[in-house]
A = this chain, B = another copy of it.
């Protein structure tokens, strides 16, 4: 994944951070789960030192919440916080797309088309989520950004559990507009119509946010629990 936040080498803390991040994003640890440092050091081998560094890392990424002398939990968001992240995405992802669009290769455009089609066939939640992520990150593949790419990845990660919960909840109903927007985005990129592509993307994120906001039951009721 080009937008990966850690292109660093193989220190133990990075390995653990990567592994734990994948576990959280994969839904293995749901929001609010307690994280015990000893458990992680046992699971990944090694002492608690790199585990703590990994937890600090994930905390600044917004995936983990740590309280001193008390412990660490998988971060959970209130609806207002999740909505805030989506509104932020709505403003910056079109910018990232702008940086990327003119450098997209023919191959990537074809992959985008393929991904959009495969998503329409996808019935299983995890596959759907993964294809969606791959699709959007592929549209950003042309960017050589220093800050913006990793930032967008962070915002995606922080809201991943709620996309999962929402997708699971609504099943495959009402996804028509969702897929239409993806195809519109691909077409706009093919045509080189950057202005349109930015607008489609902004509306795509916005509509998803509005749908999420119809389901307050998915979110943590209390802030910073």
Chain A interface (Cβ < 8 Å from any Cβ of B): 8-11, 13-14, 49, 52-53, 56-57, 60-62, 66-69, 77-78, 80-81, 84-85, 87-88, 91-92, 95, 99, 145-148, 151, 155, 158, 223
Contact = CB atoms under 8 A, between A and B. Distances in A.
B85 A147 contact: yes
Given A56-B53, A56-B56, A223-B146, A151 B88 contact: yes
B57 A60 contact: yes
Q: How many copies altogether? A: 2
A60 B62 contact: no
Given A11-B68, A11-B69, A88-B148, 7 more contacts: A84-B145, A84-B147, A85-B147, A88-B92, A88-B147, A91-B95, A151-B151
A8 B90 CA distance: 29
A62 B92 contact: no
Nearest to A91: B91
Question: What 5 A-B pairs have minimum CB-CB distances, sorted nearest first?
Answer: A60-B60, A81-B146, A91-B91, A9-B68, A11-B68
A77 B78 CA distance: 35
Given A53-B52, A57-B56, A147 B91 contact: no
A182 to B, nearest CB: 22
A13 B56 contact: yes
Given A56-B53, A68-B9, A147 B158 contact: yes
Q: Which of A11, A99, A145, A146 has the most CB of B within 10 A?
A: A146
Contacts of A147: 62, 81, 84-85, 88, 155, 158
A68 B14 CA distance: 10
A168 to B, nearest CB: 24
Contacts of A95: 87-88, 91
Contacts of A81: 146-147
Contacts of A88: 92, 95, 147-148, 151
